[in-house]
């Protein structure tokens, strides 16, 4: 929006229409205190499309020719992409020191030397690259096929993830030894090395689009951290159900530390590891 241009007024009715449309599209829900936020972030879009009100903008989002692209733009304007390497280290410890050895032992015994991990809502890539570094650190996977799938609804963050070049704020809790081992300096920033990069496969994926998520192969571990906190109850249930279907028996679901499946699903069992409590699809 041009500086100094007054915000367009969003009526209560228009607010509810647009809020529901966004929620149905990507699961993100806004409470009654977010009207001003939508007014502020979306007024520029209304003007950009030369529309005169949020009412017209709503109809454009619902029926207009460019509605899908515009919903994509809205997602870029309204989502939180905050992330960094080695976030929530107690969970990562459970992953590296307890979950991985267990899966390696059980799968290895059956001769299935394959491990699939999904970082659902991967943002700019710090989470899946952290998982790839931890896989390499353990040194347990000689002769295995390890694949890390990473998906997000934002094309902007996926572009950054695929480039794999990061500045200081991504390394706020990263140990120097990991930076030295898995990155190379590039113009004052750090570029992820190819040995890490090649383990991760990035793709555009809307978690609510279960017709597409169902096409993913069975996963052994799903990380979906700090994503569902922004979702409404119904969308959470839908996404968690699809996680359940996608997980192999005995597979693990790791949510953010402030998130739980309470009132969302009773299908998983809570497993007590030394470092963390983790959801498991029962055997």
Ligand X SMILES: C[S@@+](CC[C@H](N)C(=O)[O-])C[C@H]1O[C@@H](n2cnc3c(N)ncnc32)[C@H](O)[C@@H]1O
Q: Which residues bind ligand X (CB under 6 A)?
A: 26-28, 79-83, 87, 121-123, 127, 152-154, 157, 205-208, 225-227, 256
Give the neighbor-by-neighbor strand order of the sheet with 165-166. 165-166, 189-192, 183-186
Q: Show the CA angle centred on residue 121, arms to residues 126 and 59, nearest 5°.
A: 135
Q: Between 152 and 232, name the residue whose CB sits nearer to ligand X.
A: 152
Distance of alpha carbon 133 from alpha carbon 232, whole angstroms:
33
Distance of alpha carbon 268 from alpha carbon 85, whole angstroms:
27
CB of 269 to ligand X, least distance (A): 23
Residue corresponding to tokens 């996926």: 158
What one-character DSSP code corresponds to residue 29? -
CB of 72 to ligand X, least distance (A): 11
Q: Between 54 and 129, name the residue whose CB sits nearer to ligand X.
A: 129
CB of 279 to ligand X, least distance (A): 16
Confirm if 274 and 102 have CB atoms less than 8 A apart: no
Q: Between 8 and 164, name the residue whose CB sits nearer to ligand X.
A: 164
CB of 196 to ligand X, least distance (A): 17
CB of 48 to ligand X, least distance (A): 21
Distances in Å between the Cα of 153 and the Cα atoms of 27, 37, 69, 116, 243 are 11, 20, 12, 20, 16
By CB atoms closer than 10 A (0-12, 13-18, 19+), residue 169 is: exposed
Q: Between 157 and 247, name the residue whose CB sits nearer to ligand X.
A: 157
Q: Between 11 and 260, name the residue whose CB sits nearer to ligand X.
A: 260
CB of 18 to ligand X, least distance (A): 16
If we measure between CA atoms, which residue out of 209, 49, 48, 223 comes closest to residue 134? Answer: 223
CB of 28 to ligand X, least distance (A): 6
* Token duo for residue 33: 């205190």
Q: Between 82 and 114, name the residue whose CB sits nearer to ligand X.
A: 82
Q: What are phi and psi of 143, to 5 degrees?
A: 85, 5
Q: Between 61 and 207, name the residue whose CB sits nearer to ligand X.
A: 207
Q: Provide the sign of the torsion angle of the four alpha carbons 57, 61, 64, 68, taken in this order.
A: positive
């Amino acid at each position: 929006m041009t500086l100094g241009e007054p915000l367009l007024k969003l009526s209560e009715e228009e607010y509810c229409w647009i809020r529901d449309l966004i929620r149905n599209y990507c699961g993100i829900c806004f409470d009654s205190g977010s009207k001003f936020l939508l007014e502020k972030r979306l007024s520029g879009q209304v003007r950009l499309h030369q529309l005169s009100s949020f009412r017209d903008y709503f109809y454009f989002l619902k029926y207009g020719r460019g509605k899908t692209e515009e919903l994509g733009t809205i997602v870029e304007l309204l989502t939180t992409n905050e992330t960094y390497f080695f976030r929530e280290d107690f969970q990562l410890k459970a992953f590296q020191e307890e979950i991985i050895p267990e899966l390696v032992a059980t799968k290895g015994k059956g001769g299935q030397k394959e491990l699939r991990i999904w970082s659902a809502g991967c943002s700019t890539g710090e989470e899946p690259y952290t998982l790839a570094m931890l896989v390499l650190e353990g040194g347990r996977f000689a002769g295995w096929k390890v694949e890390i799938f990473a998906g997000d609804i934002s094309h902007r963050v996926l572009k950054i993830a695929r480039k794999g070049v990061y500045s200081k704020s991504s390394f706020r809790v990263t140990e120097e030894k990991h930076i030295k081992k898995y990155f190379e300096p590039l113009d004052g920033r750090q570029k992820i090395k190819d040995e890490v990069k090649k383990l991760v496969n990035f793709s555009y994926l809307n978690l609510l689009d279960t017709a597409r998520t169902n096409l993913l192969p069975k996963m052994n571990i799903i990380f979906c951290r700090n994503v569902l906190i922004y979702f409404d109850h119904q969308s959470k249930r839908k996404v968690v159900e699809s996680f359940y279907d996608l997980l192999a028996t005995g597979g693990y679901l790791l949510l953010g530390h402030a998130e739980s499946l309470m009132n969302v699903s009773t299908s998983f069992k809570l497993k007590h590891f030394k470092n963390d409590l983790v959801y498991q699809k029962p055997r």
